[in-house]
């Protein structure tokens, strides 16, 4: 089972979600750790190759953007409460920024 690496404030954001939303997100991430796809997800190519968004509806709408294409870990890029029909640009920008930083960090490790 792949470990989860929480980038930036993503873990703190999930910790602020209500208990039922945290439970559902945990169940979805457990599926990903086991090599399966979550039950409600969407590819996020605008964030980066291999990025996906877990969608949880529990009162509000909660989102976790992650990438699991690397063999060592699952990286949670961003977690947030979705307040508009379309994902807000600042949330996409945050996930994209963390994805870019992750790729840079991985490249530097290999050198």
Q: Is 3 helix (H, G, I), strand (E, B) or coil?
A: coil
Q: What is the CATH number of the domain that holds 42?
A: 3.30.2310.20
Q: State the Cα angle at 33 between 97 and 26, rounded to 5°.
A: 80
pTM: 0.95
Yes or no: say if 15 and 23 are a contact pair by the CB < 8 Å rule: no
pLDDT, tens digit (0-9, with 9 covering 90-100), for 6-43: 999 999 999 999 999 999 999 999 999 999 999 999 99
pLDDT, tens digit (0-9, with 9 covering 90-100), for 34-55: 999 999 999 999 999 999 999 9
- CA atoms within 13 A of residue 101's CA, in its CB half-sphere: 12
pLDDT of residue 109: 83
Total domains, the chain? 1
Per the structure, the complete domain to which residue 77 belongs is given by 4-110
Give how far Cα 57 sits from Cα of 7, 8, 46, 51, Å.
23, 23, 22, 20
């Amino acid at each position: 089972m792949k470990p989860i690496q929480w980038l930036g404030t993503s873990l703190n954001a999930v910790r602020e979600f209500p208990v039922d939303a945290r439970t559902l997100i945990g169940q979805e991430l457990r599926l990903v750790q086991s090599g399966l796809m979550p039950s409600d997800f969407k590819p996020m190519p605008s964030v980066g190759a291999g990025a996906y968004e877990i969608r949880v509806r529990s009162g509000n709408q909660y989102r976790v953007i992650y990438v699991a294409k690397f063999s060592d870990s699952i990286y949670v890029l961003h977690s947030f409460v979705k307040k508009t029909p379309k994902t807000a640009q600042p949330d996409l920008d945050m996930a994209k920024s963390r994805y870019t930083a992750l790729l840079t960090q991985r490249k530097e490790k290999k050198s």
